[in-house]
């Protein structure tokens, strides 16, 4: 069987960030993290399915092909893989055993364990090979020889997902050979592994405080950067609710623009604001840690990976949602800017070129259109950003004039509610000590119950949108005017309507 050697480096995702093997993620760390993840999953069941290479979405629930020999035209269907003994060899290799049960015309087969190795050979070659093993079909002798290879091009450690080209061969007592693209789904991802973890280069590693909490937290690389960007979430508590295991959250904190876009100023409080919002979704909304896509300093590629592109809306978020069941909450702290002749608003990734935002930004039009394709029960978007092209840290776009550009508000789909920090010509203000954005601070305080109390609310134990709007207009808007002499008013859009 041919070896797998893709033209581009293997894509790795961990800690809410994605990048290439050997660049953002060290090869040795990939092997160590794979061993830890495999060990955490076993003995247990792995699910394999045929998938589309471009979307990594399953076409069928299993792998299947025809085997001729003992029984003509037999369907070979791996229903899972029981594994044990995962061990890192210290040389970028992981050894383990798999047992692949198969079904032949509804009759289970019996196979020996396959001794297997996953080797991180290079940035372009992560290869899993199972040595030949023997099987018995239909109660016959163990005389059917099988072997397999799996060339990995994608590993999502957070969610325990691998993708790649597979090849399976059966010989001796039968014969068959097939190749294709398959996805492997494990029960436990690295979000639930404490003993070992994988961190992008330049990102500080932190040990998880308790089980089922991601051990990797995206943070600046050194003490100087830590001091430059506050990390501490707002001191506010929320009334705990029952866990909602099917609800999803996406939390994005774009603070450090200076490393990759020298002409764009930093958003100093974005990390702390994102941390505070994460506390809110876990405590007040009942979202479990494993259902949070938590990104720091997201690039354009990161945004496309999560939300999809203008051509394909089926990004990571789409794949996570349970249709008609999941409530989705999205939070973004970072820059927004208008671009083009019509002032189309864009989220500004940390690697954007301020002169060409329309090419390397992520448009709100695409975001809302793609969210409209997600069959969630509800979607709420909270934006700690304005889209005027200027910010408290300075001009976001290089050709911005002193007169603010007016961003053109895109259509909001019926199943989406958007709550934004300011209007088209306004600036999203920070606390005077740069510890938090004013919008996020008072949003969280309001949702903790302050907006439900008089004179803003009716005290029924719930915070409605109108209560939140009145509260923010009397807190966030007041302090923006008091501190800086500027207007800032919350913008709320529900479907095609606006408040």
* Residues 157/36, Cβ–Cβ less than 8 Å: no
Instruction: Look at the chain and report how many structural domains it folds into.
Output: 2
- 210 located within any domain: no
- Write phi, then psi, for 58 (nearest 5 degrees): -70, 135
Tell me: do 35 and 122 sit in the same domain.
yes
CATH number at residue 349: 3.40.50.1460
Tell me: do 147 and 229 sit in the same domain.
no
Tokens of 282: 């876990």
Residue 209 scores a pLDDT above 50: no
Mean pLDDT of 219-248: 74
For residues 362, 366, 367, 373, the Cα torsion angle rounded to the nearest 10 degrees is: -150
pTM given for the model: 0.56
| Final residue in a domain of this structure, among 128, 162, 185 | 185
pLDDT-derived band of residue 215, with 50, 70 and 90 as boundaries? very low
Tell me: do 25 and 166 sit in the same domain.
yes
Mean pLDDT of 27-47: 84
- Write phi, then psi, for 129 (nearest 5 degrees): -130, 130
- pLDDT at position 200 is 61
Q: b or e along 286-322 (b: 16 or more beta carbons within 10 Å of the residue's beta carbon)?
A: bbbbbbbbbbbbbbbebbbbbbbeeeebbbbbbebbe
Helix or strand holding residue 156 (H, E): strand 144-156
Angle, helices 300-307 vs 364-371, to 10°: value is 20
Domain that residue 137 falls in: 11-185
Mean pLDDT of 20-25: 85
- pLDDT at position 105 is 57
* Greatest CA separation for the chain: 85
Tell me: do 252 and 392 sit in the same domain.
yes
Q: Which residues are registered as beta bridge partners of 133?
A: 146
> Could you read off the pLDDT of 276-331 as tens digits, one per residue?
999 999 999 999 988 999 999 999 999 999 999 988 999 999 999 999 999 999 99
Tell me: do 224 and 132 sit in the same domain.
no
Higher pLDDT, 108 or 412: 412
Tell me: do 153 and 264 sit in the same domain.
no
List, in sequence order, the alpha helices (H) in 108-205.
none
pLDDT-derived band of residue 229, with 50, 70 and 90 as boundaries? confident
- pLDDT at position 51 is 84
Residue 75 scores a pLDDT above 50: no
> Could you read off the pLDDT of 99-122 as tens digits, one per residue?
776 665 566 677 888 889 999 999
- 5 located within any domain: no
Chain-centre distance for alpha carbon 408 = 28
* Residues 308/51, Cβ–Cβ less than 8 Å: no
pLDDT-derived band of residue 1, with 50, 70 and 90 as boundaries? very low
- Helix (DSSP H) and strand (DSSP E) numbers for the chain: 10, 27
Tell me: do 176 and 135 sit in the same domain.
yes
- pLDDT at position 48 is 81
| Final residue in a domain of this structure, among 185, 204, 228 | 185
């Amino acid at each position: 069987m041919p070896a797998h050697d893709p033209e581009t480096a293997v894509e790795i995702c961990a800690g809410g960030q994605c990048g290439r093997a050997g660049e953002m993620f060290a090869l040795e760390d990939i092997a160590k993290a794979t061993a830890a993840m495999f060990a955490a999953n076993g003995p247990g069941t792995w699910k394999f399915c045929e998938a589309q290479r471009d979307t990594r979405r399953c076409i069928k629930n299993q792998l299947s092909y025809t085997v001729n020999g003992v029984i003509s035209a037999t369907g070979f269907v791996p229903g899972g893989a029981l594994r044990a003994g995962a061990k890192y060899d210290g040389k970028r290799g992981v050894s383990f055993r798999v047992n692949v049960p198969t079904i032949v015309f509804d009759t289970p087969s019996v196979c020996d364990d396959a001794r297997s190795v996953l080797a991180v050979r290079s940035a372009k070659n992560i290869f899993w090979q199972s040595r030949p093993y023997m099987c018995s079909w239909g109660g016959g002798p163990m005389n059917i020889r099988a072997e397999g290879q799996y060339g990995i091009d994608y590993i999502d450690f957070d969610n325990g997902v691998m993708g790649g080209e597979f090849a399976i061969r059966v010989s001796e007592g039968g014969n068959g050979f097939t190749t294709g693209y398959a996805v492997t789904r494990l029960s436990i991802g690295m979000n639930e592994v404490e003993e070992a973890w994988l961190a992008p280069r330049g990102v500080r590693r932190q040990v998880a405080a308790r089980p089922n909490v991601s051990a990797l937290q995206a943070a600046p690389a050194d003490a100087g950067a830590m001091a430059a960007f506050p990390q501490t979430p707002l001191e506010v508590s929320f009334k705990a609710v029952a866990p909602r295991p099917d609800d999803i959250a996406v939390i994005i904190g774009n603070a450090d623009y200076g490393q990759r876009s020298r002409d764009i100023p930093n958003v100093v409080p974005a990390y702390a604001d994102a941390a505070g919002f994460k506390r809110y979704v876990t405590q007040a909304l009942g979202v479990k840690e494993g259902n949070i896509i938590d990104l720091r300093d997201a690039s354009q590629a990161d945004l496309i990976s999560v939300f999809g592109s203008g051509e394909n809306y089926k990004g990571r978020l789409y794949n996570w949602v349970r249709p008609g069941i999941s409530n989705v909450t999205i939070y973004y702290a970072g820059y927004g800017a208008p671009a083009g002749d019509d002032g189309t608003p864009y989220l500004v990734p940390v690697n954007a070129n301020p002169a060409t935002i329309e090419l390397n930004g992520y448009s709100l039009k695409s975001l809302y259109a793609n969210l409209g394709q997600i069959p969630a029960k509800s979607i709420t978007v909270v934006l700690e950003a304005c889209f005027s092209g200027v910010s408290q840290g300075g001009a976001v776009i290089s050709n911005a004039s002193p007169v603010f550009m007016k961003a053109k508000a895109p259509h909001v789909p019926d199943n989406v509610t958007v709550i934004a920090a300011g209007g088209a010509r306004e600036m999203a203000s920070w606390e005077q000590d740069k510890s938090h954005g004013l919008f996020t601070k008072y949003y969280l305080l309001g949702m903790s119950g302050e907006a439900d109390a008089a004179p803003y609310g009716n005290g029924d134990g719930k915070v409605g949108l109108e209560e939140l709007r009145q509260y923010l207009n009397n807190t966030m808007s007041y302090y923006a005017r008091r501190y800086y002499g500027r207007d800032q008013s919350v913008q709320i859009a529900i479907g095609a309507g606006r408040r």
